[in-house]
Structure 1
Amino acid sequence: MARNVQSEAALEDEFIRRLRSIGYRFVKIPDVETLNNHFRELLSERNRERLGGVPLSNREFQSVMNELVGARTHYQVAQILRGSATQPVGKIEIKRDDESNLYLDLFDGRDFRNNIFEVSHQMTVMGLHENRYDVLVLINGLPIAEIELKRSDVEITQAFNQIIRYRSESFNYAKLMRLVQVFVVSNSNETRYFANGDGNLNSNFMFYWTDQANNRYNDLGIFTTAFFDKQRLHSLIAKYTIFDRTNQKMLLMRPYQIYATEAIIEQAKTHPHDNGYVWHTTGSGKTITSFKASQLLLRETNAEKVIFMIDRADLDLQTVKNFSAYLPETTSGQNPLDRIDNTEALVRQLASSDNGLIVTTIQKLNNAVSNDRYKATLTPYHDRRVIFIEDESHRSQFGEMRKNVNRWFKNAQHFGFTGTPIFPENVGQDGRTTADLYGKRLHQYLIKDAVRDGNVLGFSVQYLSTVSQKDGTVEDEQVPGIDTQEVWEDEDRVERVVQHILFNHNQITKQRHYNAILTVTNTRMALKYYRMFKKLDPKHDLKVTTIFTWEANELDNEAHQNDDAVTSRQGLDQVIADYNQLYGTDFSTNHFRSYFSDVSKRMKDHNDQTPEDNIDILIVVNMFLTGFDSKRLSTLYVDKNLQWHGLIQAFSRTNRVETDKKPFGNIIAYRNIKAKTDEAVALFSDGDSSGFLAPDYATLKPDFVDSIEKLLTIAPTVQSVDRLYDQGEEAQKEFVLAFRALLRLYNRIRVYDEFDWAQFEPRFSEQLLRDYQGRYYEAYQNVVKRQSAETVSVLDDIDFDISLIETDKITVDYIINLIAGIDTQSDEGRKRDIRKIERMLDNATTDSLKSKAELIRTFLEQQLPLLDADDDIGLSLSAFFAQSKQAAIEGFSRSHNLSVDFVNEQLADYAFYGKTNGGEVFQQLSGLSFHEKRRVKRELNDFIEELDPKYSLNS
């Protein structure tokens, strides 16, 4: 270790000193028993009067622990600090020994000064393994934050991985640790925080803390002073936590969301007659921010109603679902936020005193204030204080409906949320900008900030010329009139575009792990493209559909411009009929909303395991280009003119963060919209477009070549990787780092049209990448085994990007399909197919396939040559596996002097109960010593656990 690298111990001491300097008191807690006793002591101190001088008995304290961290999920435990419909904020109820009920105060969620803030160092938990926590922050004796620190030369993700390991190995042994709300990881120079929760935690959702101008507090010292300020930490726990009931997750808000919320509350309190707006880029989580702002506005101001207003009916349902998921559960179990289906229902909610928060569309609200039948009910709202929160309302908020609402709610205050404001450059016919409408910009978080923070992705944009003339490329703006329309809608051109998509879609979307939208100019073109996909892809290898709205009374001349002389609605009915046949549904344009919901679900819930349920490409005109969020949408094909906020909104459908496999949102433009893209990027980046666009192919290619050369310098051949194990872990580390760098670049460069492996051959090839990939996976597996054995390895300091190879992994099903398709008609074809399969087995990157590889090789070498040309290879493989499984059971039984029937009985117990019957095993082994019984029992358990994964073709 370099002498100038600060040790972990020194870093921990410095961190604790800083906490003590801002008012935390130090408490020594070496083990779980001390932690429990300390909590009991502070609990008694906080509740001295309630206890009436009678300390908690051991049974009563056990009741406290059961009530606090008994058979509860973390989601349920975390709610105790914030309260619910059945639980007061920060309190629990127990029954005393004398049968009286007692409320105990755990946490004051209103005033941070009424809580005790402490820090502890190096608490040890003896769980599955010995775990030693670097630093704990406690509030009133409860461990609220766990901090893991690493040296500056260690990747921060190793601290994350350590937390995950500790969480699984020791939280059940230290029950109070399940109250941890937030984790902090740092290597001194890089510091992040993330929420605790049930299930797997994702390192992509570690967040930076920043100031109000979005400048990161990366240095641990600055982070500590800002994030662990007692009032700030208290507000994060008590106020800026959100519970997602739908997904049963606790969410901690990000700093820009908190600052925007605080700015809105401050404006509402100090300037109740002045509006304001928040500019937070699309995809940054505006729904959470607007929900929390709405909730706090009701709680902390004298507003009678807070109305969240949207301008699109198709988003109404999703918005209500989101808001409902974040609201506390009610005692009745009913939806706490009823969706308003019509104007009359909206008026009832306005008249009711039970609903403080209302979600509606501006169209419904405009109908209410414009209809005389509701006048008596709504007249009182002329003077009552109402606060409106309006989301992405570029069209309706600038029209007559907004004016009508303003005239009725004269004492209202409006707060707008937008990812793409209206500026003088992109102003509409109304002539007003977002600032004209809302006044003060209260907070901004732009796409450059979100890309930098990893909250959204940048964009890779490729412009492909599909129409040329002698004087250059045709552009809509340059060649006016019907002739231009004929050029863009020409059948040959549409066919070329579809052929390009069919040829490149798999590569662009990583073998359809992701899906895409194709946006076109009108419904006529949507149907034209849909029919072209059917014509060129008759077997429906790609699942393509379209969705759009239609005019109620479409003109005949418009209809005749469609193929087959049908109206757009009739054309969509034909599309939906195909859709019903493909997916087994029963929709029509008479039930368009149901069709819309199903399309939306299939676009969001893209499934690698059941691809037959997916939509690969959705053709749209305007729908789904705003307000639709899906991590699995990676690509936008563009065959229409986009500009200003419409362009940014459309592009932003593709840039939701999933994992490292998705490097950016991919835009393939079949129109020359580069000038419009550059204008929009400049406008909505507020003068700084860094990070908005990914590097082009010409920039990435030299980096990719350099990464290839670096890898080949370290390991000139695939076989040479094996020799690195003899040279020590530093040599292995060099290989891992070099190949990881290559993988990361490959993951980015392969989506470009210009990418072709032929450019890098014979120096490097796709097959070589796969071969090295197998060695990379083996190195990762070795590290995992060392970690479970609690030994320290230099490779522990490396964050393996295994997720980068997951979309390319060779599965058991894939290999079975290849075996079933082996060419048995010719000796040369059979050998060629077998070589291909054996090479894939050598490079297996899934545990399931690696466990079966030896059996599959045996089948290929010994059984396949015995089959006739007409034999079913798939059935023969299944029979071979079944026979091999039975032979393994008989062999184990003989070697351990057990009957085959007994081993089969234990297999059945394991399949049903998840474990063998230990009592029966010991009884069966009555003639052996106790130690021999334990040995055989352990070997039987290991054999049974490994049997099905190894001999089953279904996993």
Structure 2
Amino acid sequence: MPAIISESEIEEAALDILVNDLGYGYRYGPDIAPGMPDQERAGFSDVVLEKRLQDAIATLNPDIPVQARVEALKKVIREESQDLVHSNRSFHNMLVNGVDVEYKKDSGQTTYDKVWLFDFENFDNNDFLAVNQFTVVEDRHERRPDVILFVNGLPLVVIELKKPDNMENFEDNDLLDNAYNQLQTYKKEIPSLFRYNAILAISDGQDARAGTLTSSREWFLSWKTLDGEKIAEFLVPPMEVLLKGMCEPKILLDLTCNFIVFEENHGPISKKLARYHQYHAVNKAVEKTRIAVSAEGDRRCGVVWHTQGSGKSLSMVFYSGKIVQYLNNPTVVVITDRNDLDGQLFENFARCHELLRQTPVQAENRNHLRQLLSVASGGIIFTTIQKFLPGEDEDRFPVLSERSNIVVIADEAHRSQYGFDAKITRKYDGAQIHYGFAKHMRDALPEASFIGFTGTPVELEDRNTPAVFGDYIDIYDIEQAVRDNVTVPIYYESRLSKLEISNEVRETLDSDFYGITEGREDYETEELKSRWSRLEAVVGSKDNLSKLAGDIIDHFENRLEVLEGKGMIVCMSRRMCADLYAEITKLRPDWHDDNDLKGNIKVIITGSATDESRLQPHIRSKTQRLKVRDRMQDPEDPLKIVIVCDMWLTGFDAPALHTMYFIKWLTGHNLMQAIARVNRVFGDKPGGLIVDYVGILYDLKKAMNNYTENGGRGDPASFKEEAIALMREKYEIVKDMFHGFDYQRIFSASPREKLLIVRQGADFILSKGNTDKAMDDEKKRYIKHVAELSKALALSKPHEEVDKINEEVGYFQAVRSILVKIDRSSAKSNREVNSAIKNLVSRSIVTDEIIDIFDAAGLKKPDISLLSEDFLDEVRSLPQKNLAYEVLKKLLNDEIKTRTRKNRIQGKSFAEMLEKSVNKYKNRSIDNVRIIEELIELARKMREADLRGEDLGLTDEELAFYDALAANESAVDVLGDDTLRLMAEELVRLIRQNATIDWTLRKNVQAKMRVSIKRLLKRYGYPPDKQKIATRNILEQAEIVCRDAAVSAD
């Protein structure tokens, strides 16, 4: 079926939005290419429109001497690093902070100054230009991105477009995968273009995604809003939303200047771009802050609620970077309520120091905090809320600074200790009044303004948070985060039955536990400590931990069979962590290693030299804990599971983490924060799982109720039964597709028979369609449902129902692997290669080595260029005729594509033969036996065609032009092979001599080439009535060879 929308039409639509809606100028790439009347480049390797940049520099920097402006231009053009990301980072720094120059004034004094490339304040002072078909040549590679957006002559945005094959494929991510892969090829082959890049975008006209130079495919994300207030309506195409939402001139400059960071964290540099919810929330927060800090403001900026895992820490970085610039360089004080959170958040900020334009500092104590606040302005200071606690001899916290240009950012602003309310606690020596830390902060910083960031909602009965910070500024909830692929859903599984505690004891424990409420951690009474100890003693008994160790090992190993990744165990105490480690390594001794850089399991706790001996092996310095953290965050590292008590339950980010085991009660925000450790995106991870051994369900439901009451959409955690129900549904669908075929016999068959039954299963699925299209639809339907079944099973395992169907699903996957391989459009994408979900193909069913369609079909892989007779005989004798047809059709299709890239006439001829045979089969004019014979005959003709060049004494290139001439049979009769051979040789020389880059896009060059070809045809006496067709054939073939010739000549 022909494409309803062509790639050029998608390109035209994008340009229409950019030019007519957003006000960009427009130039056609070939019109401004080297050698053209309106050229804007000296050569095809030049990626900067230098005259535009030169003019912009002169306009924006009128007070800078000409020589200094020239030097700045040279710095921008000159490559500083061979590494693309380092070079891009260096340029980005020049772009947002100005190009450093020095020059002498008339007095002879040396002056150091900045040359600005963009006017970020007044976007109208910049030149915005959209260019399509912009050819770049570098190191013998010629590439032509679809659309490039230039700002002041600098290529800031590269857009790659793909057309859908037909309307059914608008939902097919393969198209976006292809566009993404194309950009990766560009980066390797023409890296100079990407030195200046800020944003990469891909689209098929419907779906559209954006990312950066270092973004993996799953982090190319949609832009969902036009105004930041609501999600764009369905009728507005996503490509239009992305272009208007990101590339509108003012927004593009804002994103470039304030919403890009380069992070370097024990590995390659990562370039990150704000997502739409971060961009709009930060800008709203900056505006609210501007009002709050004004003379009429109440110093309450508001609260940003962005669900856990959606990039809250980075939003705080973007916010800080922007207020530092736009609010007269205030002092920013970032407050957390835990030392480990302070360190984690500080590291995030420190990695982004370039955006912040300063290096953050951690306050070591109250005196250091006072010293840091003594400056007149500026500074980003990190401290814990506990540093605002008055001393034993103080009634109130002393004033640290009365400056009004201080902005306090509170992480997790919902916590009760931020309140004003007084609480009375009983001590042995009498009652004592304690206030929430908000009062102490206000006492210390009476004129400061406060803003809160939280991953969970403010509770309805919480009067303190709004009183301190104000109302919500922006909400980004779980449902939207999952829809946007920013997080994955979380599932809940209860394994309470695995913890053997009598009902009588459990009732006592429940009573003890519910007396321990959130918000009293800092003022624990001896009674509360006693209750917790009783709980910990029962749950952490040796007998219980021994049983739990075995159950966790079985459960986690079952999970790892189907899902690559990592796990975390949360225990009630440090003692329990150490004891559980001992029980687990007793059962799996090879998991243990004394070396922090080795081993499969570690305990993460704090402690000191005075702690008991069994804790000592697990007490690490901060540096040692960071090494273990890096291992846990590395998906390839053999460290698979960590045991924690309090650490790493908030702020810790390990995308491969998919399972958490709770042997500890948590409530409210603490619980919500903890379970979010498993909601990070990692490859095709379908979701995270929390496993409950102690009964956190009541508090989980309570947290869910609070979440929805505050306007949040989407469940913080879904019950595992939902995944199991989906697994049942998909299992029945796939099983029904085999109605009439007995695949169950595979489980008692010999190894040789098993291979045959897998092939027979694939053949059966293919036979269900009575037309070629129906066959293709059935194949795609099967592939889709097995993929969905595999994901649901990965979420459900371990479970007794999974065990029942495990081997059947393995068989379904084995059949799917064959069908995927013979699907002409299913080349393995990066996401498949990096798949987190493992195949369940049991070795008792079929070995993992069946990854090739020829192996899958039971054939020896042929030398495709030879298409040997032995191989064709093997295909003919296959009993699974539908499978044989699909394999042979794919093989020939691929071979024809390869030949067409070298010899257009030959490829076209063979393509027509293949299409004719396939159409006869589609129309059921011939059966599957006859179609196989016709395809085998076509394969023989291809093999014979390979010998023609040798017989004629022509190279492959010369033979291609010979075929273009010989396509007219009367020319062969009149001129004969010898003359046509001479003409072909001369045509190759003529084409190579006249080849120029972009000649196919330039009418004047095409005309010149056409005249030269006609002269040659006339000189040799080519039949006049056939010269027009011959000229067209030659020009089409010339397109194939000209690219290499042009690159060689450049």
TM-score (norm 1): 0.69
Q: Give, in angstroms, the shift of residue 314 of structure 1.
A: 1.8
CA distance in 1 between partners of 2:587 and 2:65 (Å): 83
Q: Give, in angstroms, the shift of residue 227 of structure 1.
A: 2.8
Counterpart of 2:409 in structure 1: which amino acid? I
Q: Contact 2:309–2:487 (CA<8 Å) still a contact in 1?
A: yes
Distance 1:709 1:297, change over 3 A: same
In structure 2, the partner of 1:902 is none
- Of the three residues 416, 441, 455, the one matched with 1:419 is 455
SS in 2 for 1:123: coil
Q: Contact 2:793–2:802 (CA<8 Å) still a contact in 1?
A: no
CA distance in 2 between partners of 1:445 and 1:522 (Å): 34
SS in 2 for 1:649: helix
SS in 2 for 1:508: helix
Q: How does 1:462-473 map to 2 (within 5 A)?
A: 462-466=493-497
SS in 2 for 1:699: helix
SS in 2 for 1:442: strand
SS in 2 for 1:309: strand
Instruction: Determine if the alignment matches structure 1 residue 42 to structure 2 residue 52.
Output: yes
In structure 2, the partner of 1:17 is 16
In structure 2, the partner of 1:802 is 832
CA distance in 2 between partners of 1:650 and 1:443 (Å): 23
Write out per-residue CA displacement over residues 748-779 of structure 1, whole angstroms, 9 at most, x where no aligned residue. 323423255553388x253x256336536745
Q: Give, in angstroms, the shift of residue 213 of structure 1.
A: 3.9
Q: Contact 1:82–1:238 (CA<8 Å) still a contact in 2?
A: no
Structure 1 residues not aligned, in runs of 5+:
553-567, 580-588, 781-792, 812-832, 855-928, 933-955
CA distance in 2 between partners of 1:141 and 1:456 (Å): 37
Write out per-residue CA displacement over residues 266-306 of structure 1, whole angstroms, 9 at most, x where no aligned residue. 12222313311111111111221111211222221135411
Q: How does 1:790-829 map to 2 (within 5 A)?
A: 794-795=825-826, 801-803=831-833, 808=838
CA distance in 2 between partners of 1:192 and 1:252 (Å): 12
Q: Contact 1:718–1:771 (CA<8 Å) still a contact in 2?
A: yes
CA distance in 2 between partners of 1:94 and 1:148 (Å): 42
CA distance in 1 between partners of 2:80 and 2:489 (Å): 42
CA distance in 1 between partners of 2:801 and 2:834 (Å): 19
Q: Contact 1:75–1:250 (CA<8 Å) still a contact in 2?
A: no
In structure 2, the partner of 1:207 is 222
Instruction: Determine if the alignment matches structure 1 residue 255 to structure 2 residue 276.
Output: yes
SS in 2 for 1:146: strand
CA distance in 1 between partners of 2:861 and 2:845 (Å): 10
In structure 1, the partner of 2:680 is 656
Counterpart of 2:119 in structure 1: which amino acid? D
Q: Contact 1:515–1:632 (CA<8 Å) still a contact in 2?
A: yes
Q: Contact 1:740–1:800 (CA<8 Å) still a contact in 2?
A: no
CA distance in 2 between partners of 1:28 and 1:390 (Å): 51
In structure 2, the partner of 1:922 is none
CA distance in 1 between partners of 2:193 and 2:319 (Å): 31
Counterpart of 1:462 in structure 2: which amino acid? E
Q: Contact 2:660–2:691 (CA<8 Å) still a contact in 1?
A: yes
SS in 1 for 2:603: strand
Counterpart of 2:814 in structure 1: which amino acid? D
Q: Give, in angstroms, the shift of residue 448 of structure 1.
A: 1.7
Identity %: 21
Q: Contact 2:200–2:212 (CA<8 Å) still a contact in 1?
A: yes
CA distance in 1 between partners of 2:591 and 2:829 (Å): 40
Distance 1:162 1:18, change over 3 A: closer
Q: How does 1:248-647 map to 2 (within 5 A)?
A: 248-272=269-293, 273-275=298-300, 276-302=302-328, 304-328=330-354, 336-352=359-375, 356-364=379-387, 366=389, 381-393=401-413, 394=415, 396-398=417-419, 399-424=435-460, 427=462, 432-466=463-497, 474=506, 488-489=539-540, 491-510=542-561, 513-540=564-591, 543-548=600-605, 570-571=611-612, 573-577=613-617, 589=619, 592-608=621-637, 611=638, 614=639, 616-647=640-671
Q: Give, in angstroms, the shift of residue 68 of structure 1.
A: 5.7
Q: Contact 2:136–2:143 (CA<8 Å) still a contact in 1?
A: yes
Q: Contact 2:299–2:447 (CA<8 Å) still a contact in 1?
A: no
- Of the three residues 692, 705, 725, the one matched with 1:699 is 725
SS in 2 for 1:257: helix
In structure 2, the partner of 1:194 is 211
CA distance in 2 between partners of 1:61 and 1:14 (Å): 37
The aligned length equals: 761
Q: Contact 1:527–1:546 (CA<8 Å) still a contact in 2?
A: yes
Write out per-residue CA displacement over residues 763-807 of structure 1, whole angstroms, 9 at most, x where no aligned residue. x253x2563365367458xxxxxxxxxxxx6447x9685247566
CA distance in 1 between partners of 2:702 and 2:694 (Å): 16
SS in 2 for 1:120: strand
Distance 1:156 1:110, change over 3 A: farther
In structure 1, the partner of 2:688 is 665
In structure 2, the partner of 1:772 is 815
Q: Give, in angstroms, the shift of residue 79 of structure 1.
A: 4.4
Q: Give, in angstroms, the shift of residue 626 of structure 1.
A: 1.6
Report the more deviating stretch, 203-212 or 444-453: 203-212
CA distance in 1 between partners of 2:83 and 2:641 (Å): 42
Distance 1:450 1:697, change over 3 A: closer
CA distance in 2 between partners of 1:502 and 1:637 (Å): 11
- Of the three residues 146, 155, 162, the one matched with 1:143 is 155
CA distance in 2 between partners of 1:93 and 1:707 (Å): 72
CA distance in 1 between partners of 2:778 and 2:321 (Å): 52
Distance 1:8 1:570, change over 3 A: same
Write out per-residue CA displacement over residues 501-540 of structure 1, whole angstroms, 9 at most, x where no aligned residue. 1212112244784222222333454344334324444554
Distance 1:510 1:40, change over 3 A: same
SS in 2 for 1:642: coil
CA distance in 2 between partners of 1:468 and 1:329 (Å): 54
Write out per-residue CA displacement over residues 340-364 of structure 1, whole angstroms, 9 at most, x where no aligned residue. 4344443333234685222222233
Q: Contact 1:659–1:803 (CA<8 Å) still a contact in 2?
A: no
Q: Contact 1:518–1:618 (CA<8 Å) still a contact in 2?
A: yes
CA distance in 2 between partners of 1:184 and 1:456 (Å): 21
CA distance in 1 between partners of 2:309 and 2:647 (Å): 17
- Of the three residues 821, 827, 849, the one matched with 1:841 is 849
Counterpart of 1:745 in structure 2: which amino acid? L
CA distance in 2 between partners of 1:53 and 1:597 (Å): 47
Report the more deviating stretch, 222-231 or 482-491: 482-491
Instruction: Determine if the alignment matches structure 1 residue 162 to structure 2 residue 171.
Output: no
Counterpart of 2:469 in structure 1: which amino acid? Y
Counterpart of 1:672 in structure 2: which amino acid? G
Q: Contact 1:80–1:89 (CA<8 Å) still a contact in 2?
A: no
SS in 2 for 1:83: helix
In structure 1, the partner of 2:944 is none
Write out per-residue CA displacement over residues 476-518 of structure 1, whole angstroms, 9 at most, x where no aligned residue. 7766698987764555444333222121211224478422222
CA distance in 2 between partners of 1:410 and 1:170 (Å): 52
SS in 1 for 2:29: coil
Q: Give, in angstroms, the shift of residue 455 of structure 1.
A: 0.9
CA distance in 2 between partners of 1:250 and 1:732 (Å): 41
In structure 2, the partner of 1:225 is 244
Q: Give, in angstroms, the shift of residue 544 of structure 1.
A: 3.9
Q: Contact 1:461–1:693 (CA<8 Å) still a contact in 2?
A: yes
In structure 1, the partner of 2:915 is none
Distance 1:256 1:477, change over 3 A: farther
Q: Give, in angstroms, the shift of residue 635 of structure 1.
A: 1.0
Q: Contact 1:92–1:103 (CA<8 Å) still a contact in 2?
A: yes
In structure 1, the partner of 2:118 is 107
Q: Contact 1:306–1:388 (CA<8 Å) still a contact in 2?
A: yes
Q: Give, in angstroms, the shift of residue 391 of structure 1.
A: 0.7
In structure 2, the partner of 1:938 is none
Counterpart of 1:230 in structure 2: which amino acid? P
Instruction: Determine if the alignment matches structure 1 residue 718 to structure 2 residue 758.
Output: yes
In structure 2, the partner of 1:586 is none
Counterpart of 2:289 in structure 1: which amino acid? A
CA distance in 1 between partners of 2:635 and 2:190 (Å): 38
Coordinate RMSD, CA, aligned: 4.8
Q: Contact 1:68–1:77 (CA<8 Å) still a contact in 2?
A: no
Instruction: Determine if the alignment matches structure 1 residue 749 to structure 2 residue 789.
Output: no
Distance 1:778 1:220, change over 3 A: closer
Q: Give, in angstroms, the shift of residue 650 of structure 1.
A: 1.2
